[in-house]
Structure 1
C-alpha cells in the first residue's frame, strides 16, 4: 500500500487539476456567452411631438398637490379635511379627464379615487395604475431646507412630503391621461387608476375597498403597477449604469409578542432567574441565530443575472456563474443590512418592556419582534424556527399581526407584461438596465392580489444612495427632470398598452 502512495497522490492531484481546469473553462465560457436581458426600444426625446414637458402649468399643479397635508398617522387616524380638499383639487385640475364620457370616477371609502377609462376593444383585459393620496408625518421640521408642505421649487428640485411617496405617480399618471385625452385618443384597452387614501397605515379603508369594488364587479386585471423600487444610481456594486429595479414580489411580515411571567418580589431577595433575564436570553438567541440565508431561491438572484453582461469583470464572473458562486454571494449579501434584507427573513427587536420600580423584581417582561419574511418562506416556517431557537417553554409567543409574502409575478422574456414594462422604462431611461427584484416593504398591492397574477412595483425616478434617507425622512424632494420623466413614463405605458401584449413597442412614427 505504501509503495502505491506516490501514484495515488499523483492521481489525486491530476484529478484536482483536471476538475479545476474544467470548472475554470465553464466559468470563462459562461461569463463570455452569458445572455443579455436588456432591450433597445425607441427613445423618448424632448423633440417628439408627444413629449410632455414639465412646463409652468404642470409644475404648478404638482407643487399645489404637495401643499395638501394629507397625513396618515395610524390606522383609521388621518386628516379627512385635507383629503377632501385634495380630492376636490384633483377634480378641478384635470378638466379633460373629469369631463370625458370615456371616464367613470368613483369615490370609494369616503376619500379614495377609482377611475375607469373605457377602452375601445372590450375583448382586451383591463390593467391598473395605482398610487395613494396620503403621506407620512413630518419629522425634524426644523432641519428641512424648505417647508415640508410648501412644494417649494429650489435649485431644480421640488421639496415637500409626498414628492417621492407618492404624489409624483398620482399626479404624473393623471397628467399623462389628461394629455392623452386632450389629443382625442381613446385607449384600446380599458385602464383603471386607483388612488387609496391610507396606504401609509395599511390601506384598510382605501385600497382594500377599491379591491372589494373591483372584485364585486368581477374584474380580472391584466397587470397592476403600483409604487415600488426606483431607478438606482450607484445603488449596486459593479454596475456603472442606472439600474431600474422592478419589484415582482413583496416580503411578508410577522410581528410577535414574546412574554415571560415569573415570580416577582423585592430586589433584596432575587431568585436565580428573572422574567427579564429569561426573555433577554431568548432575544439574544434570536439575534445570534438569524434565519437561513435564502439567496438564490427567489428573484434576488435574477437581479444579478439580468445585469451580468454590464457588470465590471469580477462581478460579471460572479453573476454569470451563480450556480457555482451563489454561496459566496450569499455570504457577501449577509454582511450589510441593506443586502441582508434580500437574502433572508430578517429579525428586528422593536420593543422591550419590563420593570416598574428600581428595587422591585418585575414579574413580567414583554418584547416585540418584527420579522420580514423572504418571498420563498412562510409565516409558519418563521414561527417554527423561532420556537426551536428559543427552546424555552417559559417564553410565550403570540402573533400580533402577520401577512404571508406575496406571490411572485411573472418576469423575463416569457412574460409579455414584464417585457412591455421593461421596454417602457428603457424608452424613458435608454441607458438604464432593467432587472427584477422584490420589495422589503409593503404597498397597497396586498389588497389587489386576487385581481391579477401580474403585479409590479416600480417608481420611475432616479434615486442615489444620498437620496435614500429622504424617503419618509427629512428633505423629501424630486427633481423637475425626474417629475418630467414620471409623466412621460405613464404616457408611454398607456400608449404601449394599445398594442397586443406581444413585446411590441411604441414608436413615435405612430401618430395618435
Structure 2
C-alpha cells in the first residue's frame, strides 16, 4: 500500500511591525531563516520537494508508491485544497498505509525532568467549534440607558465562559499515553511518579493546568477571539457580537461541549450560531504493528540519534490531515523540527523562523523516510517500543 506526505503552502497574514526582517523576505540572520511560513508550513512543502530532488539526482527508484499532497488553503480549513485532493483519491479507490502531515515537533526543554529532546508524534487532533455569540437590544439615547445593555449582557456571558473553564480530562485521552512512553526519560523522582499515574494523576493534572501549552492537552479550551459592538458614543448599542473558538479534547464531542457552554452562559438572551464544528479526529494506531510508527522511529534514529523516546501525543491545532480519514486510519502529525519553549509564540506570531541546520535536518528526515519506507515488512521493533 502507498503512503502520503502532506503539507501546505498558505500562511496567516503578517505585517512588518515587530519583525526583525521583512516577514516575507526569507532573510537569513544569525543562522536562522526568518519569514512567515518557515515552520508553518512551507518548511514541510519545500522540504518534501527538496528531498525528492536529492533522490532523483541519485537516480533513486522507490519500490513503494507514495503521494505528495501540498494544499493551498489549510489556514482556512482546506476546503478547496486538501479536501479536493482527498476526494479525488477516494474516487480512485486509493487506500494509504499511513499519512504524515504537520502537527507536533521535537520538544526540547518543555517538560521539567527530561533532558533529551522528545519527538512527539500526534496520533489525533482536537476537534473545533467556532461559534458566534450575539445579543440584540433596543437602541436609544445614552442619556437614559436601561439597566442592562447588549454589550454588558454579552460581556458577562463571555466572562462566565472564561471564569468556568471546561472540565479537566487528564487521563481520558492520549495525553496519558504520552507520559507512559516518556516515563523512563524523566529523572528521579519524576520517573517514579510518571510510572505510577494511577496514583499521581491528580497531582500531574494540576501541574498541567498551570501553563497554556500543557493545559491545552487536558481539556477543551475556550478562546474569545473577536468582539464587536456599538455604533456611536451616545447611542445605546442595538447589538453586540463575539466569536469564540473552542478546541475539543479527544474524549469530548461537539454536542457535549455546546451543552456545557449553554449551561455556563445560562442566559437565553445570548444567541449562539455555529459557524463551524467538528469532533476530535479518531486515534491512530500506535503499536509494534503500525507500519508508519516503526518507520518514524527508524528514521528519527537515523537523523536525530540523540533524541529520547518517541511518544504519541495530541495535536492541539487542526491540520489538513483531518480530510483524509476515509483513506486511512493511520494519520500522524509530526514536523521533524526541534522546538524550544520560546519558539512556540513565533508560530502565527512575530519573527517566525527556522534554523538553517534545522531545515537541513528536516530535508534529511524526509530523504531517509522515503528510503526507509521501501520495505515489504516491518523492521524489527526498537528496544524502546511499548506493548499497550
Q: TM-score, normalised by structure 1?
A: 0.71
Residue of structure 2 equivalent to 1:488:
364
1:420–1:501 contact (8 Å) kept in structure 2: no
Give 1:133-212 correspondences, 5 Å limit.
133-139=9-15, 141-212=16-87
| Aligned positions of 1:183-262 closer than 5 A | 183-262=58-137
Partners in 1 of 2:31 and 2:278 — Cα distance? 40
The aligned counterpart of 1:498 is 374
Equivalent residue number for residue 289 of structure 1 = 164
Distance in 2 (alpha carbons) for counterparts of 1:501 and 1:327: 42
Q: Which residue of 2 aligns with 1:432?
A: 307
Q: Structure 2 stretches of 5 or more lacking a match? A: 383-388
Q: 1:142 to 1:254 in 2, by over 3 A?
A: closer
Q: Which residue, out of 398, 405, 409, partners 2:273? A: 398
Classify 1:460/1:263 alpha carbon distance in 2 versus 1 (closer, same or farther; 3 Å): same
Distance 2:155 2:96 in 1: 48
Superimposed CA distance per residue, residues 321-355 of structure 1 (whole angstroms, 9 cap, x where no aligned partner): 11111122111111221211111001111222223
Q: 1:368 to 1:147 in 2, by over 3 A?
A: closer
Q: Structure 2: how far apart are the matches of 1:296 and 1:417?
A: 25
Aligned counterpart for 1:459 among listed residues 324, 335, 350: 335
Structure with the higher fraction of residues in helix conformation? 1
CA distances 1:451-482 after superposition (whole Å, capped 9, x unpaired): 11001111111111222232223332222221
Distance 2:325 2:193 in 1: 34
TM-score of the superposition, structure 2-length normalised?
A: 0.92
* Pair member with larger Rg: 1
CA shift for structure 1 position 387: 1.1
Aligned in 2, Cα 1:126/1:356: closer, same or farther, shift over 3 Å? same
What is the Cα deviation at residue 414 of structure 1? 4.4
How far apart are the structure 1 equivalents of 2:14 and 2:159?
34
Structure 1: stretches of 5+ with no match in the other structure: 1-124, 507-512
Q: Secondary structure at the match of 1:165?
A: coil
Structure with the larger RCO, 1 or 2 (CA within 8 Å, 6+ apart): 2
Partner of 1:275: 150
Please provide the CA RMSD for this pair. 2.0
Aligned to 1:265: 140
Secondary structure of the residue that 2:189 maps to in structure 1? Answer: helix
Aligned residues: 381
Superposed counterparts of 1:17-36, under 5 Å:
none
Could you say what secondary structure the match of 2:292 adopts?
Answer: helix
Corresponding residue for 2:3? 127
Is the contact made by 2:171 and 2:201 (CA closer than 8 Å) also made in structure 1? yes
Contact 1:251 1:374 in 2 (8 A): yes
Change (3 A) 1:278 1:477: closer
Shift of 1:487: 1.6
